């Protein structure tokens, strides 16, 4: 299949395990930038089949292992708690690694702060809708984000002094890390900078 993609379209490429994160990212971008960009989601197979037909200037965001082949030499613009995003030309990568067990307490505080921000944004949107201010469904992505980040309260913080025991739980932290990374990229300026370069 030969597909031509226009410059105002952003392609998000995701491995099967990150389909939900692709959907979250697409929703947050659509809500934040309204009609400025159209978001298209492709799974890895669709990307491999159509990559040759996309120009180097086409903006593509690769999630997780979908960006494995272009990761080296990437300029990282955000790198915190084993969560990072960066870009080179028209390709951006969002990736998450295992959290360092010694960073659990600090990460937990960071994640809780972002969970509270998402919850407050959702409450403000609900108030605006109740006051008759049109938000055109903009709470969808924030509501999903708030729900995903609420899981931070279920993660064991008491393991701070026990890195070996904490290692058992590190995959659970990934379930919070990726939504946080998506939030950082979509809502904290990363996506906008990527699109402007």
Domain that holds residue 141: 101-185
DSSP lists the bridge partners of residue 76 as 86
Number of domains in the chain: 2
Residue 30, H or E segment: helix 19-33
User: Following DSSP, what letter does each residue of 99-112 receive, concatenated?
Assistant: PPGGGHHHHHHHHH
Question: Do residues 94 and 115 both lie within one domain?
Answer: no
Nearest to 60 by CA among 80, 78, 75, 40: 40
Question: Do residues 84 and 112 both lie within one domain?
Answer: no
Nearest to 27 by CA among 15, 12, 42, 16: 12
Give a yes or no: residue 196 inside a domain. Answer: no
Please give the Cα distance from 134 to 72 (Å, whole number): 44
Nearest to 82 by CA among 187, 190, 178: 178
Question: Do residues 81 and 116 both lie within one domain?
Answer: no
Question: Do residues 51 and 107 both lie within one domain?
Answer: no
Question: Do residues 15 and 63 both lie within one domain?
Answer: yes
Question: Do residues 13 and 93 both lie within one domain?
Answer: yes
pLDDT digits over 126-138, tens only? Answer: 554 444 433 444 4
Question: Do residues 13 and 92 both lie within one domain?
Answer: yes
pLDDT digits over 22-64, tens only? Answer: 999 999 998 888 778 889 999 999 999 998 888 888 899 999 9
pTM: 0.82
């Amino acid at each position: 299949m030969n597909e031509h993609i226009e410059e105002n379209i952003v392609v998000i490429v995701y491995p099967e395990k990150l389909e939900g994160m692709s959907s979250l990212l697409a929703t947050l971008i659509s809500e934040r930038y309204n009609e400025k960009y159209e978001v298209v989601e492709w799974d890895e197979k669709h990307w491999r089949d159509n990559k040759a037909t996309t120009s180097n200037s086409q903006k593509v965001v690769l999630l997780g292992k979908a960006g494995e082949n272009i990761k080296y030499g990437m300029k990282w613009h955000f790198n915190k708690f084993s969560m990072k995003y960066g870009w080179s030309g028209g390709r951006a990568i969002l990736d998450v690694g295992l959290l360092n067990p010694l960073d659990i307490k600090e990460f937990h505080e960071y994640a809780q702060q972002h969970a509270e921000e998402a919850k407050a944004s959702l409450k403000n949107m609900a108030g605006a809708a109740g006051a008759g201010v049109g938000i055109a469904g903009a709470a969808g992505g924030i509501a999903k984000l708030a729900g995903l980040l609420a899981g931070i309260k279920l993660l064991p913080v008491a393991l701070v002094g026990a890195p070996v025991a904490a290692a058992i739980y590190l995959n659970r932290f990934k379930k919070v890390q990726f939504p946080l990374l998506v939030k950082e990229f979509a809502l904290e300026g990363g996506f906008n900078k990527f699109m402007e370069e």
